[in-house]
Amino acid sequence: MSRQRSIIRPVAAFAAVILAVAGFAASAKATSFGDFETGTAPGWGALTNTGVQPWTPPVSGAVVTGSVGSFTGSKVLDLQGNASFNFGQSSGGALGFDFLSQNLRNDFLANNKLEFDWLAVPNGSSSGFAELFNIILNSQGGGFVNVGGQSQGTPNAQQFYFTGYNGNVRHVVVDYTNYKNTVLASGFPNGGSFLQFGIQPNAGGFQAGITTADFQFDNFQLTGVPEPASLAVLALASLGLLGRRRR
């Protein structure tokens, strides 16, 4: 019986660790940082060389009640500007968000993906395009890096206009695992004194007379599951546990 017990105990310990790993994976929860249902947009503005600042011409941003497609009736962030790269802003991102101002440092580091919905508001044109050309993360630990967008081949980052176009909502998912790992390996593993997100939009090719682009955004979230490295650490811990029990 003693030998049987010595086998059962390590197996039970291993099973407990496996259940803990499974529980860790199941407990991953999305963190919303932009559904705008309060009618406000805390932390949002234009990404500039001095951080996220209130919008100034040629870019404007405001929370409005959506009236296009599945955005109808919901509060969304409406961004307008020149029908050109970055809506006419010379640097940074026409759309920006400050994670630190909203106490989301830990949430950013605990997740791996950034997700949101957007649409290009129909403008009467039967030609042209609208796109999220660059999606950017900016921190002291990781630098100013383009992590997604049409320039990186991110799905759903572009919308063409055509006859009968009535507003298609696009869902964008950006995996920022590599960027986060760079931050964690830097001299500022918590990101440092600034941690920001930005979008450089682009629009063009419209019919003559259309000079303003109008994009709407909703449902910004940080999502993710345990990284393989985290699961590996737990697996090694379980093996170490078994070894100690056997000895």
Give the residues of the chain that fall short of pLDDT 70.
Answer: 1-28, 225-247
pLDDT at res. 227? 55
- Tally the residues of the chain: 247
Q: Is 74 helix (H, G, I), strand (E, B) or coil?
A: coil
pLDDT at res. 241? 38
pLDDT at res. 16? 43
CA 81 to CA 212: how far, in whole Å? 6
pLDDT at res. 23? 44
Mind listing the pLDDT tens digit for each residue in 36-57? Answer: 999 999 999 999 999 999 999 9
Q: Is-cis flag, bond preceding 10, omega within 30?
A: no
Query: Residues 57, 87: contact at Cβ < 8 Å?
Result: no
The domain ranges of the chain are: 1-28+226-247, 30-224
Structure tokens at 153: 């081949």
pLDDT at res. 27? 44
pTM: 0.81
Q: What are phi and psi of 89, to 5 degrees?
A: -75, 140
Fold of 30-224: Jelly Rolls (2.60.120)
pLDDT at res. 219? 98
CA 76 to CA 66: how far, in whole Å? 6
Structure tokens at 134: 């660059």
